Amino acid sequence: MAFLSVHVLAFIFGLLGNIVSFLVFLAPVPTFVTIFKKKSSDGFQSIPYVVALSSAKLLLYYGILKTNASMIVSINAIGIAIEIVYLTIYVIYASRDAKMLTLKLLALFNVVGYGLMLVLTLLLLKGAQRVNAVGWICAAFNLAVFAAPLGIMRRVIRTKSVEFMPFTLSFFLTLCATMWFFYGFFVKDMFIALPNVLGFLFGITQMLLYMIYKNQKELPITKQHQRQDDPKLCATVIDEPKLTEMKIVLDSSTRPAESN
């Protein structure tokens, strides 16, 4: 009976994680509607979506290698399809330089990097060793992605403005991390649970910063940047990016003033 209870709880949190993650994947839709209407992707970065695609592919492979991991497989298969649509639209309407950069990043992360990982794990490892190796790769990748909010949180503290850190997005990303942590906990999968602990902590920190600075007057800064309108990565999805605070950090150093 105890086993059944744990199994049911794992199913519930996995299902909730799928639902929340799907909503996070859909968060960039307004961005791509804008790109389609303008027939231009100028002012937007493709990096979050490339990273989200990489994360979803890694987790899909991990889910396939594991047994009874349909929750991981389903959401990441959907995520891959969504990210491919986003990137296709981006490349169609991107400038030549942005298009070439995006294609190079796709080749580096999603063809060469992913292909190398696939070949090495299939040829050199077997059984549980292969599952554990891919699990560690997924966990390390998602831990690195979850470190991205440090940049946007530092920006909020410096400017005393939460313009670039919407509360609703932070809330849903924290909820996403919570669902997947408990799923990983109940199925005893540390590769899913552990990265989402960091995601949860960063999400709570962002919401606390929002409450502290939401009524503060923004300090003058030399550049204004695009809003955070894309989701960051959740340790069983990525999206997408978004995708992410990673986008804001990159924008802060690479892009001229933009507004949505």
pTM value surpassing 0.75: yes
Calpha distance 80→3 (Å, rounded): 33
For the chain, what is the domain count? 1
Residue 28, pLDDT score: 87
pLDDT digits (tens, 9 = 90+) for 31-52: 899 899 999 987 788 888 998 9
| 133 lies in some domain | yes
Listed as ranges, residues in the chain with pLDDT below 50 are 1, 221-232, 239-260
Residue 3, pLDDT score: 54
Contact call for residues 145 and 196 (beta carbons, < 8 A): no
Residue 64, pLDDT score: 95
Calpha distance 142→196 (Å, rounded): 9
| 260 lies in some domain | no
| 259 lies in some domain | no
Residue 50, pLDDT score: 92
Angle at which helices 149-159 and 245-254 pack, to 10 degrees? 60
**Residue 33 belongs to domain spanning:** 2-254
Calpha distance 157→150 (Å, rounded): 11
Calpha distance 71→80 (Å, rounded): 14
Residue 246, pLDDT score: 45
